[in-house]
Amino acid sequence: IYGDGSQTRSFCYIDDLVEGLFRLSVEEGLKGEVINLGNPEEIRVLDLAKKIIELTGSSSKIEFLPPRPDDPPRRCPDISKAKRLLNWWPQTSLEEGLKKTIEWFRRFIIN
């Protein structure tokens, strides 16, 4: 982890993002609109690392590196226009998305 892990990030599960992109592609009258797709549920990077260790049953130890000078303390999309114009918002929680992703890696990459 770069820094102390207090920086926050948000993650959007791929199925949710694809649904948002599909709605963007079929909705009329959006030419020139800037619409953010993503998940506004934030998590601290340190908490994310701990959650992944927990969900995988890993014995990994978290390592800390010096912070990156250009690393923003917070990244979180404003999806209010997506909600309003596309009737879209993410349906998959971070934990559920992590579980699905871990299962996918175990099924297709590790085994």
State mean pLDDT over 54-71.
Answer: 97
pLDDT tens-digit series, residues 82-97: 999 999 999 999 999 9
Query: Three-class SS of residue 83?
Result: helix
Q: Is the pLDDT of residue 63 over 90?
A: yes
Which 3 state secondary structure label does DSSP give 65? strand
Q: Where are the domains of the chain?
A: 8-110
Pinpoint the alpha helices (H) of the chain. Answer: 14-26, 45-56, 80-86, 94-105
Phi, psi angles (nearest 5°) of residue 42: -95, 150
pTM above 0.85, yes or no: yes
Hey, which CATH number is domain 8-110, 1.10.10.10, 3.90.25.10, 3.40.1390.30, 3.40.190.10? 3.90.25.10
- Interhelix angle for 45-56 vs 94-105, to 10°? 50
Q: Residue 77 and residue 88: Cα distance in Å, rounded? A: 13
